[in-house]
Amino acid sequence: MSGPNPKMSLAAEQLMKAAKAKKCWACDCLRSTLMTVDGGIPAEKQTAKLRQAVIAAKDRLLPPEIDCRGCPICYPAIAMNALAEGVEPETLDPAVCPAEEIHPREGWPPLAGDYTALGYHRPVAVCTLNSENLWRQLIQLSPRHVSICGILHTENLGIERLIKNITANPNIRFLILCGEDSRRQIGHLPGQSLSALNKNGIDERARIIGANGKRPVLRNIDPEMVEHFRKSVEIVDLIGTVSPVDIIDIVEKLAQRNPGPGEPYMSAPVMPAVRGYIPDKMISDPDGYFVIYPDALRGAIYLEHYGNNGVLTTIIEGKTAAELYHPAVEKRLLSRLDHACYLGRELARAEQAILKGELYVQDAAPEKQTPKALSAFTDACCGGKRS
């Protein structure tokens, strides 16, 4: 470009501010801006200051956590506006839109799961099925047209959650199935089941027609939502493909024929979650308390039950948590559900300690747990005893 360009200088200045601002590093505003500059303005057309700012910002990029933070002053947005106004049309690659807006989207996706949301206004969703490494590789690459990327293990609850999250975003028009189909040894085939759903739908019993999975029944989703999903989202079957490069290549091709946002689906409100809590005071079990002793040399766990008078009543031996809590329940050694939960948690920790060769301390808890709550729980569930 001939002579100084004040707009490009402004863009360079704002990108350098973004490079120094921690809040920008994991925000899609910065990531999208850098991708637009790289794709839309050839390196030889960029000023030295702009190139320096781009490199500095790239060095600080983190995996995206949010589309936009809604900051009153957005450095990447100012940079993009400056470039859109101050760069000659022949300089820009027409395939890249420097003014593409990035919007925060609170409440999407509506349901939690094993996924990463990359951007609301993007047309492609990617499901890597049981291939967790592939999921993480794609997230690290952050393909510019991918809205959400995640894994899927089951052909019932997993598919239900996937459909609810995707139909909540009318911008998603394609779903790529890739990676290895899930847990073949116990019959779960969510990839094949999703393909069958796309082709055949569900029957009157909510079973996916033609699905070979173990239990391909969608009981927690409306048939109308299923049909909306089938009509609005094109499923691209790449099951077995584990190359991120090949998948991103398909993403780019799909984005080129993006028909635009589909019709929004007005679904019922998502069931609100009940906030968890720890009571200030735990109630002792009238049937007594437990002390757990893992024996690493024997590869066994010993569960001792004491009456509230401190007298030993029962000793149960086993190698797994399940081998211990089942007899404890059958022998009616506990009468409160919260104590049953406590017992299951502690036995699972003891089992893991033996498997990993670690020290087990009964009632050890994460540091975030308050000492008051921990002490109350210990006193109620194991009589103040610790192994």
Q: What is the DSSP string of 273-306?
A: PPPP---SSPPPPTT-EEEEEEETTTTEEEEEEE
Q: Tell which residue, 169, 265, 166, 161, has the closest CA to residue 220.
A: 161
Q: Determine the Cα–Cα distance for residues 64 and 141; give it in Å rounded to an integer.
A: 10
Q: Determine the Cα–Cα distance for residues 101 and 86; give it in Å rounded to an integer.
A: 18
Q: Identify the three-state secondary structure at position 172.
A: coil
HSE value, Cβ hemisphere, 13 Å, CA-based, for 51: 8
Is residue 13 a contact partner of residue 19, using CB atoms and an 8 Å limit?
Answer: no
DSSP state of 145: T
Residues 6+ apart with CB under 8 A from 251: 124, 126, 143, 145, 146, 176
Residues 6+ apart with CB under 8 A from 103: 67, 68, 120, 121
* Residue 371: predicted pLDDT: 46
Q: H or E element: which one contains 215?
A: none
Q: Determine the Cα–Cα distance for residues 317 and 378; give it in Å rounded to an integer.
A: 22
Stated pTM of the model: 0.57
Residues 6+ apart with CB under 8 A from 4: 47
DSSP state of 208: B
pLDDT tens sequence across 165-224: 999 999 999 999 999 986 554 567 899 999 999 999 999 999 999 998 888 999 999 999
Q: Identify the three-state secondary structure at position 310.
A: coil
* Residue owning tokens 């022949």: 90
Helices and strands (DSSP H and E) totals, the chain: 13, 8
Planar angle of CA 212, 213, 214, nearest 5 degrees: 125
SS (H, E, C) 46-108: CCHHHHHHHHHHHHHCCCCCECCCCCCCCHHHHHHHHHHHHCCHHHCCCCCCCCCCCCCCCCC
Is residue 236 a contact partner of residue 250, using CB atoms and an 8 Å limit?
Answer: yes
pLDDT tens sequence across 65-104: 776 666 667 788 788 777 766 554 444 443 433 333 444 4
Low-confidence ranges of the chain (pLDDT < 70): 1-4, 39-40, 67-72, 84-106, 182-187, 268-270, 364-387
Is residue 265 a contact partner of residue 167, using CB atoms and an 8 Å limit?
Answer: yes
When the candidates are 1.10.530, 3.30.450, 2.60.40, 3.40.50, the CATH number that belongs to 115-256 is 3.40.50
